[in-house]
Amino acid sequence: MQTMIETWMAPLIVPLVKIALVIFGLMTAAAYLVLLERWIAAWVQDRKGPNRVGIPLTKIKLFGLGQPLADGLKFIFKEEYTPAHVDKALFILAPLTIMAAALAVFAVIPFGSELPMIEIPGINHPIQLIVAPNVDVGMVYVFALSSIAVYGVILGGWASNNKYSFLGGLRSSAQLIAYEIPLGLGILGVVLASGSLRLDEIINGQAESGVWNAFSQPLGLVVFTIAAFAEAARLPFDLPECEQELIGGYHTEYAGMKLLLFLIAEFLHMVVAAFLIVILFFGGWHLWGMTPPGAAIGWPEAILRVLVLFGKVMAVIVFFMMVRWSWPRFRFDQLMNLAWKVMLPLGLVNLVAVAFVVEYVHVRKLEGLDTSEFFVIGIGWFVAMVAWLLAGLLSPLHADNRPRLDMRRPPDFEHVGPDAPQSQELVS
């Protein structure tokens, strides 16, 4: 019996526990991040946020911490209405697709380094704080699953059989596909500098050198962050669901739990973006003087690494929320121009600069010479400043919101009515 547990059960228990903790933690985090965002929105707009809902059937308010529970119960008890004119199979598949992709991404995202060895039968090694450890193509996996969100958006708009939903799905998919390219270029710069596609090795590389990629690749950080905002459909890039223009976007016809899946997936995309920004550019769990590099660590160091990582992620999430309630929305043509005419060239410039620095450092090592980290940082900031200066000079300094002249009707058809002037061709 003991041999069976050690051989079969123990290797399965740890992954199952990790999966359960990740799913439960993400669902709880999504609920309370909504509450946090409502508080931040109230603070930015100088008003009170949710502060009344507390423990049910009591007068204990607890600063409104019961609000996520009330919101969840509201969605659960709402009618699960499916319009008769929709394609029911695809209509149900769309939120499931986008939610499954949003959850599956976290399989390769580390939540710390590792836990020291625990006395469990069949487990004689430290436990890595990642659901699927040792995945050599971790970044490819993340990028591939993040791209699946496009299919959920297209399916939701198409299956709704609604013109508003269809138009929302079309321009949402165009936005997501356009910003995947600068997002990938930002990732490629980090992968090229670290020489690995594994997220944990990218963190270890920054910890060993002591230089975060945010300092050596500031241009890549800016490109990746802006693209991550657009991929997560956060303001000022929330064109997929801007209520004032598209009623409700691609999920106009959705309600109840199916709508809740879309909303949770949106928040999970923001959480994924925050984790990637921290891991790729801000050292992950590394913090100078507090979390030194090294694999052999004790419980205090392991817990401190987890706290440092989550502290950084929360700071980035708060930044996401502050931007949402501080910036106005882009117009769609401005959004696409930013992707193709600004972010794409800047991403290519950053990639070429990183390739040059990596090759230069490699050649110096072959010659037995060391390269100063200050030189690498200086090259990164020089390239960033020059690129932003050129982008500012070549791009307009203001947005022209006047009507496009080429979109106006011909002069003969500007007036409608019995006294409207008729075209000479029509009269003849």
Rg (CA), the chain: 25
Backbone angles phi, psi at 120, to 5 degrees: -125, 130
CB distance 219 to 257 below 8 Å: no
Nearest CA to 99 among 173, 143, 149, 31?
149
pLDDT in tens, the chain (428 residues): 556 555 566 677 888 888 999 999 999 898 899 899 999 999 998 888 888 888 777 778 888 888 888 888 888 888 778 888 888 899 999 999 999 999 999 999 999 888 876 666 666 677 888 888 888 888 999 988 888 888 888 888 899 888 888 888 888 888 888 999 999 999 999 999 998 899 989 999 898 888 999 999 999 999 999 999 988 888 888 877 665 555 667 888 888 888 888 888 888 999 999 999 999 999 999 988 887 777 667 888 888 999 999 999 999 999 999 998 888 888 888 888 889 989 999 999 999 999 999 998 888 888 877 778 888 899 999 999 999 898 888 876 666 666 666 555 555 545 444 454 544 444 44
**Where in the chain are the domains?**
15-69, 78-395
| Total count of residues recorded for the chain | 428
Residues 6+ apart with CB under 8 A from 277: 221, 224, 225, 228, 316
Structure tokens at 242: 């801007």
CA dihedral 318, 323, 325, 331 (to 10 degrees): -150
Q: Could you give phi then psi for residue 123, rounded to 5 degrees?
A: -120, 110
- Which tokens sit at 207? 């910890």
In what helix (H) or strand (E) does residue 114 lie, and over which residues does it extend? strand 114-115
The three state secondary structure string of 353-396 is HHHHHHHHHHHHHHCCCCCCHHHHHHHHHHHHHHHHHHHHHHCC
